[in-house]
Amino acid sequence: MELLHTLLITILTLGILVTIHEWGHFYVARRCGIKVLRFSIGFGKALYTWRDKQGTEFAIAAIPLGGYVKMLDEGEGDVAPEQLHQAFNRKPVLQRMAVVAAGPVVNLVFAVVAYWFMYQSGVSTVVPVIGSVIEGSLAERANLPLNSEILSVDGDETLSWDEVNLKLASRVGESGALALTLRPMDKPDGIAKSYLIDLQKWHIDLENESPLTALGLVPWRPEVPAVIGRLVDEGQAKAAGLQVGDKVLRVDDDDVDDWYGLVDLVKMSSGVTLSLQIQRGDELRTLMLSPERKVAENGEVYGYIGAAAQPVSWPESYKREIHYGFVDAVIKAFNKTLQMISLTLDSIWKMIEGVISVKNLSGPITIAKVASASASSGLESYISFLAYLSISLGILNLLPIPVLDGGHLLYYTIELLRGKPVSERIQLLGFKAGMAMLLMLMLVALFNDFMRL
């Protein structure tokens, strides 16, 4: 059932993004007087087709991994003399550039609209409060006070941990002062204080840690008692006799103070039989449990029992509902899109420089998993993911790689400057090089996907 859910959400997600991308090409082509022969969502055999009054065939195809808009073009077949004025290749170079650029641009515009809808509807988040710092970390050396809200990073307001993380991600690989503005949570009207953290070519392993943990920041979270809230059907916890509502008091000779302490003990006990003292109602019981052996992406072996904690509520002062008016939501959405575009381009460049590992490239499997997880987390999370993926698709297609929209724009720019098209031989060589480059990137991304599995 979970696999079916993931598959359906992935098809929906790709369908939305591909449709708006191809609609951009389609819409501008029509405005430029170009005859569109086919608008297809997906590749391969058509499952459903229909035609409009202008003779364009619309199709939904069997392989939902992309789409295309086929236009009348002398380079792809004979064109009747009376239709030459509608051929793509006969249009001025600026019009051809507009048609090609429209797809990625619409992806970026869609991100603004998606973020606007999210901010207009309201965003639920938690206040970015420092719960603890990791021993020996940059955060500890900067003497950052605990239970303090992070008001801004490098002068930019941060209303959530997501915004803090994004600002920190933009500093990966850099040197210089990182400025944090903090205010104690017990003094909401108190004076904010600035702290500087000295970064020296701040290299982090993004595959295994977030910028937050790399800096040494641990978000504040409410105390979670070691009470079982959910059990996995095939997990070791259920097989050992644990039930929802059981409170774990001891593991072997160690007292269990909270859920996180229980998790730590389980993780370090892979394949070891543990003695659990639990409280069930008014009685105490002892159960024997052997955590299952799991291997993390970084090769670390840890124990897993298939149990989740009983949910706890956050104090109201640590929760935040962010609502924006119409105009403010537009401004916020536009700025958020620009931030994500800048972060994406910066990440690509740092990957080229070797600052960020190519292990961070993700393929369709990771996209499917994240799409499913975001959809399960609610509409707000899914819309945010759609916007981010739309930005990624737009930026990727604008890269100056032949076979991508950006490659065509590169050729048309050269044509505009030279006054004549790039030779077919050069275009063919570029096409082959571009295909080889994309194939290599796809193989790396798929390899990373399988390694994460």
Residues with active-site annotation:
22
Q: How many residues does the chain have?
A: 453
Q: How far apart are CA 184 and CA 148, in angstroms?
A: 4
- Hey, how many other C-beta atoms are within 10 angstroms of the C-beta on 42? 21
Q: What secondary structure does DSSP assign to 142-195, as a single string?
A: TTPPTTEEEEEETTEE--SHHHHHHHHHTTTT--EEEEEEEEETT-TTS--EEE
Nearest residue to 253 via CA among 286, 294, 302, 290? 286
Dihedral over Cα of 375, 376, 378, 384: its sign: negative
- Hey, how many other C-beta atoms are within 10 angstroms of the C-beta on 244? 13
Nearest residue to 208 via CA among 304, 296, 303? 296
At which residue do the structure tokens 């759609």 appear? 386
> Percent helix, strand, coil in the chain (nearest 5)?
45, 25, 30
Label each residue of 413-431 as H, E or C: HHHHHHCCCCCHHHHHHHH
The tokens describing 149, both together, are 């809200």
Residue type present at position 439 = L
What torsion, rounded to 10 degrees, do the Cα atoms 24, 26, 30, 36 define? 170
User: E-assigned strands of 52-161?
Assistant: 57-71, 123-126, 130-133, 148-153, 156-157
The tokens describing 425, both together, are 């031989």
Give the DSSP H or E segment for 110: helix 93-121
- Decide the pairing of beta strands 247-251 and 274-280: antiparallel
Residues contacting residue 34 through CB under 8 Å, at least 6 positions apart: 71, 72, 86, 87, 88, 91, 95, 99
